[in-house]
Structure formats: C-alpha cells, structure tokens
Structure 1
Amino acid sequence: MKVVISGFYGLGNTGDEAILEAIVDNLRNEIDDVDITVFSLSPEQTAKEHNVKTVYRGWRHENKEKVKELRQADVLISGGGGLLQDTYPTKFLFGPLPYYLLIAFLAKLCGAKVMFFSQGIGPVTSTWGKILMKVFANRADFVTVRDQYSKDYLHKLGVTRPETVVTADIVFAFQKKEDDACMKSLSLRGDEKLVAVSVRPWFEHDDYYEKLADALDELITIEGITPVFVPMEGHHDVDASKRVMKLMNKAEACHLLAGDFTPNQYLNFIGECEMTIGLRLHSLIFSALTAVPHIGISYDKKVESLLKRSGMWDYSFRLEEFDAEKLKANAREVLARRQELSETVAVNAASMRRDALENIELLKKKFM
C-alpha cells in the first residue's frame, strides 16, 4: 500500500512532529510493506528522522514530484492536527486552509483516495474559508476527527458528504522510547519537585504572562516546585518562556529546556514531572500519555476538548478567564491529590489511545 502524508511537517513544531511519528510508526506496525511519502518543508531532515521518502511541501518547487507521488498513491492522509482552520489570513491560494484543501483536491485529480485523518477542525470564520471547506472538503472519501466538537463544526460548515468518525488525536498512539536527554541537559540535584510549564505567544491575551509569573513565584515559595519550561515550537516558545521568567521574582529557581529536543525526548521529560501547566495542546497530551496531572490554559476549543476527555478540565481555564489566584489554588490541590489524579488521567488516556489506534484500523478498512 502506498500512502502520502500531508501536514504541518518540517517546520519545527513538536506537536506536529509527534503526529507524524505516531502515524508513521503505527502504519508500519499495522500494514505490511507500506510505502510512505511525506510532504515536508524540510524534506531532507524529515527523511532522515522518519526513514521515509519526502517531497518539498510548498508550491515553489517539486510540483511534478508531488503529482508523481499522488498518482502512485492509494491514499492521501491529510493530517492530523489542526490543519483546516483560517486563524492565519486566508486568501485565494495562500494560508493553511487553501493549501491543505488544494493538496487533497490534487490527490483526487491524480486518482488517489483522500482521508482527513485525526483532525481538529476550525476555526473557519472567513467567507472565503467557508466556501473552500464546502467545495473541497466534501470531496474527501473519509474523515476522522479527534473530538465531537470538530465533527459538529464540520457539519455546521456544510461538510456532510464524507463519512465522519470521532476518534482521538493520533499522538495518543505515540510509541514512547526511553530517552533521558532532556533530564541530562539540566543541572538538577535529583530531589526537585518538577513542574513542566508550556507557554506560547498569544498576543490577544498577553496579560497571561504576568499572571502566570505571579502564580509560579508563589508556588515556588509555598510548594517548593521547580518549574521547567518546555518549548514545543522552537524559538517562539523559548522567547515566550523567557518573557514569563523575566516577570518573575524567583526566576533563578526555574529551568528552560532547549527548543530542539525531539517529541519523544520531551515526552520522556514530562513523564518525570509532578504536574504540567500548559497552553500547548501536545504538552497536555504528553502529560496525559504519561499519567501526569495537568492544568491547561485553553486558547482554543481543541485544548478544552482534550482537557475534558483527560479529566482535568475542572482544574483548568479558558485563556480569557485565566486567574492567577485560582491557578495557585488549583495547582496546590493537584499536587496534594497527585496520585489520585494520575490514576484518573491514566484511565482516560488509555481510552483515548484505543480511539487513536482506531484511526489506523479505519484507514485499513476503508482503503485496503
């Protein structure tokens, strides 16, 4: 079986690279002699990291190669992750939404089947974006989405022709390999109460940096935690982490991981922490995978959906409702009830892992 995978790959985003690794590993586990090609912005790096064939993902060059691969493909996997959205400006041929839909349309023209795979849908708010979704997304052969909200959103957008099944983020099927590179990079005594902190730039609510800094200062003083910032998207998250630390009185008690570790290395590190406080969706998924209780700061419905499924929504916040005093209280409660909450998270994560593996089973059922 020949598979082409299209997504946000080769751009240094830990969550998306974890998605790709989970897809590739599970395809190889479940399908004999599967032939995989990935459309990537860094094709040489992606080929080396995943042992796959690659083609440059952009339109500037290697378009003949894209067509060649799609003509030979049995199925295009579009996803996973939040590809179908117009948070970034969407014009006729520019922006993520038209890109991924046009790749899917090209695959159909080339005779390949199309599966939107383990996707989180939206937001799609522009008139042009809604037209693109209704015209092109309805041409997909099959769709799996990572939460019920995404399925409902698709139907609201008028995407009703392809069968749509709710599963879970494919990263819940990630195959963890032991690797302590992150831990070795830090100067630690060994008895610290580590708390993973994942932040990202978010300009609409940039007051959250100061609130988070205040909460971490108090938790260091009262609970004796050691915050470790985990940058999930390179220099963007490194800069956001430094911004929080600059606002802290006890920044010397914090650590900042480098922004170039692999998804598997970040996953292993988070698994060693007492708790996670995070904005990035996949920092929270990594926490759930390793049964680490987590407090999410939700900037998007996809984060809120995950927190409800993991069992940690009662301790979490929408970004616009973020309250430093409530975070302090919730964090103290999570730390006090860590073992109990860890068991709850583990049970919920096991359920989501089964749902995530269903993505592969459904692909086999529909296209083999």
Structure 2
Amino acid sequence: MKVVISGFYGLGNTGDEAILESIVDNLRSEVPNIDITVFSLSPEQTAREHNVKTVYRAWRRENKEKIKALRNADVLISGGGGLLQDTYPTKFLFGPLPYYLIIAMLAKLCGARVMFFSQGIGPVTSTWGKFLMRCFANKADFITVRDQYSKDYLHELGVTRPKTVVTADIVFAFQKKEDQACLQSLNLTGSEKLLAVSVRPWFEHSDYEDKLASALDELIESDSVTPVFVPMEGHHDVDASKRVIQKMNNASACHLLAGDFTPNQYLNFIGGCEATVGLRLHSLIFSALTAVPHVGISYDKKVESLLKRSGMWDYSFRLEDLDRDQLVENTRDVLNKRADLSMKVAENAAVMRDEAIENIELLKKYFM
C-alpha cells in the first residue's frame, strides 16, 4: 500500500511532529509493506528522522514531484491536526485551508483516494473558507475527526457527503521510547517537584502572561514547585516563555528547555513531572498519555474538548476567563490530589488510545 501524508510537517511544531511520528509508527505496525511519502517543508530532515520518502510541501518548487507522488499513491492521508481552519489569513488560494484542500483535490485528480485523518475542524468563519469547504471537503472519501465538536462543525459547514467518524487525536497512539534528554539537559538535584509549563503566543491575548507569572511565583513560594517551561513550537514558545519568566519575582527558580527536542523527548520529560499547566494542546495530550494531572488554559474548542475528555476540565480555564487566584488554587488542588487524578487521567487516556488506533483500523478497512 502506498500512502502520501499531507500536514503541517517540517515546520518545528512539536504537536504536529508527534502526529506524524504516531501516524508513521502505527502504519508500519499495522499495514504490511507500507510505502510512505510525506509532504514536508524540511524534506531532508523529515526523511532522516522517519525513514520515509519526502517531497517539499510548498508550491515554490517540486510540484512535478508532488503530482508524481500522488499518481503513485493509493491514498492521501490529510492530517492529523487542525489543518482545516482559517484562523490565519485565507486569501483566494493562499493560506492553510486552501492549501490542504487543493492537495486533496490534486490527489483525487491523480487517481488517489482521500482520507481526512484524525482532524480537528475549524474555525472556518470567512465566506470564501466556507465555500471551499463545501466544494472540496465533500470530495473526500472518508473522514475521521478527533472530537464530536469537529463532526458537528463539519455538518454546519455543509460537509455531509463523506462518512465521518469520531475517533481521537492520533497522538494518543504514540509509541513512546525511553529518552531522558530533556531532564539530563537541566541542572537539577532530582528532589524537585517539577511543574511542566507550556505557553504560546495567541494573537491579542497576552494578559494571561502576567496572571501566570504571578501564580507561578506564589506556587514556588508556598508549594515549593520548580516550574519548567516546555516550548512546543520552537522560538515562538521560547520567546513566550521568556516573557513570562521576565515578569516573575522568582525567575531564578524556573528552568526553560531548549526548543529543539523531539516529541518523544518532551513526552518523556512531561511524564516525569508532578503536574502540567499548559496552553498547547499537545502538552496536555502528552500529560494525559503519561497520566500526569493537568490544568489547561483553553484558547480554542479543541483544547476544551480534550480537557473534558481527559477529566481535567473542572480544574481548567478558558483563556479569556483565566483568574490568577483560581489558577493557584486549582494547581495546588491538583498537586495535592495527584495520585487519584493520575488514575482518573490514565483511565480516560486508555479510552482515547483505543479510539486513536481506530484511525488506522478504519484506514485499513476502507482503503486496503
């Protein structure tokens, strides 16, 4: 079986690289003689890290190679992740939404079948974006989405023709390998109470940085935690982490991981922490995967959906509703109840792991 995988790959986003690693590992485990080509912005690096064929993903070069790969493919896997959205500017054929839909249409024209795979849908708010979804997403052969909200949203957008099944984020099927490079990079004694912290820039919402900085200061002083910032998207998250640290009175008690560790290395690190306070979706998924209780700060429906499924929504916040004192209280509560909450998270993550593997089973059922 020959597959082409299209997604946000080769751009240094830990969550998306975890998605790719999970897709590739599970395809190799479940599909005999699988032949994999990935469209990547860093094709040489992706080929080296995953032992796959690669083609440069953007339009400025290797377009003949894209068409050749799609002509040879049995199926295009579009995803996973939040590809089909117009949060970022969409102008005619430029922007994430048109790109992924055009790749899907090219695949159809080249004779390949198309599966939108383990995707979180939206937001799609522009008139043009909605038109593109109705015209092109309806051409897919099969769709799996990572939450019920995404399925409902697809139907609201008029995407009703392909069979759509709710599964879970494919990263819940991540095949963990032991690697403590993150921990070994830090100057720690081994007795610290580690609190993983994941932040990100998010448009006009930067006031959360002050609230988080103040909350972390109190948790350091009253609960003896050691915050470690885990940047999930390279320099973007490194810069956001530094801004929070600079606003803290106890900045010297914090640590900041480098922004170039692998998804597996970040996963192993988060798994060794007492708890996580995070914005990034996949920092929370990594926490759930390793049974680490987490306080989420949701900037998007996909984050809220995950927190409800992991069982940690009662301790979490919508970004616009973040309250500094409540954040301290909730994090302290999570630390005090860690053992019980860890068991609860592990049980919920096991269900989502089964659902994540269903993405592969459905691909086999409908495309082999």
TM-score norm. by structure 2 comes to 1.00
| C-alpha displacement of 1:202 | 1.5
Structure 2 letter corresponding to 1:274:
E
Match of 1:160 in 2: 160
- Where does residue 288 of structure 2 map in the other structure? 288
* Distance apart, 1:159 and its partner CA: 0.1
**Aligned partners of 1:92, 1:112: CA distance in 2, in Å?**
25
**Secondary structure, aligned partner of 1:204:** coil
Q: Distance in 2 between matches of 1:101 and 1:347?
A: 36
**Counterpart residue number, 1:71:** 71
* Aligned twin of 1:52: 52
What is the CA distance between 1:93 and its match in structure 2? 1.1
How is 1:91-110 mapped onto 2 (pairs within 5 angstroms)? 91-110=91-110
Identify the residue that residue 144 of structure 2 maps to in structure 1. 144
1:209 is aligned to 209
Q: TM-score normalised to the size of structure 1?
A: 1.00
> Secondary structure, in 3 states, of the residue corresponding to 2:176?
coil
Q: Deviations over 1:63-87 (max 9, x none)?
A: 1001001001000000000000000
Alpha-carbon distance between aligned partners in 1 of 2:314 and 2:348, rounded to the nearest angstrom: 15
Q: Distance in 2 between the 1:129 and 1:335 partners?
A: 43
* Matched residue type, 2:367: F
Match of 2:340 in 1: 340
SS in 2 for 1:205: coil
Hey, which bits of structure 1, 4+ residues long, moved more than 4 A?
A: none
Aligned to 2:225: 225
* Counterpart in the other structure of 1:362: 362
Q: 1:168 Cα deviation (Å)?
A: 0.1
Rounded Cα–Cα distance in structure 1 between residues aligned with 2:222 and 2:152? 43
1:1-368 aligned within 5 A: 1-368=1-368
One-letter amino acid matched to 1:200: R
Deviation at 1:203, TM superposition (A): 2.9
User: How far apart are the structure 2 equivalents of 1:126 and 1:325?
Assistant: 37
> Equivalents in 2 of 1:183, 1:221: separation in Å?
23
- Which residue identity does 1:159 align to in structure 2? V
d(CA) in 1 for partners of 2:196 and 2:274? 8
Deviation at 1:204, TM superposition (A): 1.9
Percent pairwise identity: 82
Question: 2:204 is paired with a residue of what secondary structure?
Answer: helix
Give unpaired runs (5+ residues) of structure 1. none
Cα distance in 1 for partners of 2:207, 2:11 equals 28
Q: For residues 343 and 81 of structure 2, what CA distance do their matches in structure 1 show?
A: 27
Q: Name the aligned partner's letter for residue 309 of structure 2.
A: R
Gaps of 5+ in 2: none
Offset, 1:340: 0.1
SS in 2 for 1:115: strand
Alpha-carbon distance in 2 for matches of 1:7, 1:239: 25
Cα distance in structure 1, aligned partners of 2:59 and 2:242: 35
SS of aligned partner of 2:349: helix
Secondary structure of 1:38 counterpart: strand
For residues 147-174 of structure 1, what are the alpha-carbon distances to aligned partners after superposition, in whole Å with 9 as ceiling and x for unaligned?
A: 0000000000000000000000000000
Cα distance per residue 1:78-107 (max 9 Å; x no partner): 000000000001011100000000000000
Deviation string 1:86-135 (CA, Å, 9 cap, x unpaired) is: 00010111000000000000000000000000000000000000000000
SS of equivalent to 2:38: strand
Q: Residues of 2 paired with 1:356 and 1:310: CA distance?
A: 14
- The alpha-carbon deviation at position 300 of structure 1 amounts to 0.1
Amino acid at match of 1:172: F
Aligned length: 368
Partners of 2:295 and 2:306 lie apart in 1 by 11
Residue 311 of structure 1: CA displacement? 0.1
Matched position secondary structure for 1:203: coil
CA distance in 2, matches of 1:19, 1:155: 25
Give how far 1:337 is off.
Answer: 0.3
The CA distance in 1 between the partners of 2:148 and 2:318, in whole Å, is 19
Code of the residue aligned with 1:222 in structure 2: it is S
Separation in structure 1 between the aligned mates of residue 3 and residue 99 of structure 2, nearest angstrom: 19
Q: Deviations over 1:221-263 (max 9, x none)?
A: 0000000000000000000000000000000000000000000
More displaced stretch, 201-210 vs 332-341: 201-210
